[in-house]
């Protein structure tokens, strides 16, 4: 996995000068429907080489902050219970050296190590999870570290606000009422225009953002392990992200669960562009709380 994000020349990718680090975490052990998230990071990086590097919305070239693509996390043979430790070990040096770290998964379980690392540096951290699934099971298929349990484990680390949820079990619905954090169901979000303000109010100032690509509707993002109808489009997702970055200090993020489909590269490119937009909003959006 030697592809530099964006296909950038070396002058823009040195670790010393870069303000952004992209960390690939090609992990897949607990997926339960469509397999393939282990190849998500390399596919996203390959698609990123086709990006136009000018952001027409903000009239800037985000790559000029420097984007270093780190060596992929070595996780071959790592059990789900040990994954968070492996990711934390890889991520910690970047967070401690004040790099803005973007994790690229891999299944959603990779977020546990990323959030734990940022929690060390930002004690008042909260988590914003954009996702179709509640992921609030205590255990699933014999492990509490399944991708179906990731939000349950995240809530044990930091207050977690879940947005766009449209698939959950009765166990998860009951857990959502008891555990710290808040859930915004997609069906109710669309009946009120107040939900964005409510999401912001539920978060602390320092926010870790985790985006499961199945938050997006399968019509624009079919390349996920568990596609769920009723998701969000590109434009409304960008509106939410702009509001988030304008009002909160987003200290790190990840984009996970890309499950490439042979012959359909559009979702791969969308995922790469999403990562680039996050960099653009973090460093160039007017009003960002620096």
User: Which residues have a Cβ under 8 Å from the Cβ of 290 and sit 6 or more positions away?
Assistant: none
Is residue 211 one of the residues assigned to a domain?
yes
pLDDT on residue 290: 52
Q: What is the pLDDT of residue 76?
A: 81
> Is 221 within the bounds of a domain?
yes
| pLDDT computed for residue 192 by the predictor | 77
Any domain includes 26:
yes
pLDDT at position 165 = 97
Euclidean distance between the first and the last CA atom of the chain, given in angstroms as a whole number: 32
Q: Which domain holds residue 135?
A: 5-284
Q: Which two tokens stand for residue 237?
A: 């997702």
Tell whether 103 is covered by a domain. Answer: yes
Q: Is the pLDDT of residue 228 over 60?
A: yes
Tokens of 150: 């990731």
For residue 62, being part of any structural domain is answered with yes
Cα–Cα distance measured from residue 171 to residue 207, given in angstroms and rounded to the nearest whole number: 27
What's the total number of domains in the chain? 1
127 inside domain: yes
pLDDT at 34: 86
Reference 131, options 197, 37, 216; nearest CA is 216
Q: Are 103 and 25 in contact (CB under 8 A)?
A: yes
- The answer for residues whose C-beta is within 8 angstroms of residue 65's C-beta and 6 or more apart is 18, 19, 20, 279, 283
* pLDDT above 80 for 233: yes
1 pLDDT higher than 60: no
For 107, list phi and psi in degrees, rounded to 5: -70, 165
| Confidence band of 287 (pLDDT split at 50, 70, 90) | confident
Residue-wise pLDDT for 205-219, tens only, equals 999 999 999 999 999
Query: What per-residue confidence (pLDDT) applies to 31?
Result: 87
Give the tens place of pLDDT for each residue, 161-189.
Answer: 999 999 999 999 999 888 888 999 999 89
CATH number of domain containing 118: 3.40.800.10
Residues 20-43 pLDDT 10s = 999 999 999 888 888 999 999 999
Average pLDDT of the residues in 222-229: 96
Question: Does the pLDDT at position 74 exceed 80?
Answer: yes
Q: Is residue 289 part of a domain?
A: no
Residue 290 included in any domain = no
- Residue 215: the pLDDT is 98
State the Cα–Cα distance between residues 239 and 196, nearest whole angstrom. Answer: 10
Cβ-contact 138, 152 below 8 angstroms = yes
Sheet with 249-256, edge to edge strand ranges: 67-69, 20-25, 100-105, 249-256, 206-212, 126-130, 160-165, 181-185
In 190-218, which positions are buried (b, 16+ CB within 10 angstroms) versus exposed (e)? eeeeebbeebbebbbebbbbbbbbbbbbb
Q: Is the pLDDT of residue 190 over 90?
A: no
Q: What is the CA radius of gyration of the chain?
A: 17
pLDDT tens digits along 108-160: 999 999 999 999 999 999 999 999 999 999 999 889 999 999 999 999 999 99
Contact call for residues 136 and 170 (beta carbons, < 8 A): no
Give yes or no for residue 289 having a pLDDT over 70. no
Res. 268: pLDDT tops 90:
yes
pLDDT at res. 191 = 76
């Amino acid at each position: 996995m030697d592809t530099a994000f964006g296909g950038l020349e070396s002058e823009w990718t040195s670790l010393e000068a870069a303000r952004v680090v992209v960390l690939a975490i090609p992990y897949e052990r607990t997926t339960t429907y469509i397999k393939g998230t282990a190849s998500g990071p390399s596919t996203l990086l390959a698609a990123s080489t086709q990006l136009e590097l000018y952001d027409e919305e903000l009239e800037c070239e985000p790559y000029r902050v420097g984007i270093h693509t780190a060596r992929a996390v070595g996780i071959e043979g790592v059990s789900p219970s040990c994954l968070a430790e492996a990711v934390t070990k890889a991520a910690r040096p970047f967070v401690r050296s004040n790099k803005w770290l973007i994790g690229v998964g891999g299944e959603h379980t990779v977020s546990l190590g990323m959030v734990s690392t940022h929690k060390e540096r930002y004690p008042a951290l909260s988590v914003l999870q954009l996702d179709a699934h509640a992921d609030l099971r205590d255990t699933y298929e014999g492990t509490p570290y399944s991708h179906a349990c990731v939000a349950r484990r995240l809530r044990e680390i930091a207050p977690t606000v879940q947005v766009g949820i449209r698939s959950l079990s009765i166990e998860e619905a009951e857990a959502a009422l008891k555990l710290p954090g808040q859930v915004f169901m997609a069906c109710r979000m669309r009946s009120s225009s107040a939900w964005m303000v409510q999401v912001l109010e539920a978060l602390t100032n320092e926010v870790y953002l985790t985006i499961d690509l199945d938050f997006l509707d399968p019509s624009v993002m079919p390349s996920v392990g568990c596609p769920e109808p009723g998701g969000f489009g590109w434009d409304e997702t960008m509106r939410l992200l702009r509001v988030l970055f304008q009002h909160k200090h987003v200290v790190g993020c990840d984009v996970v669960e890309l499950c490439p489909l042979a012959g359909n590269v559009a979702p791969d490119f969308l995922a790469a562009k999403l990562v680039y937009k996050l960099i653009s909003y973090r460093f160039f959006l007017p009003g960002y709380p620096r």
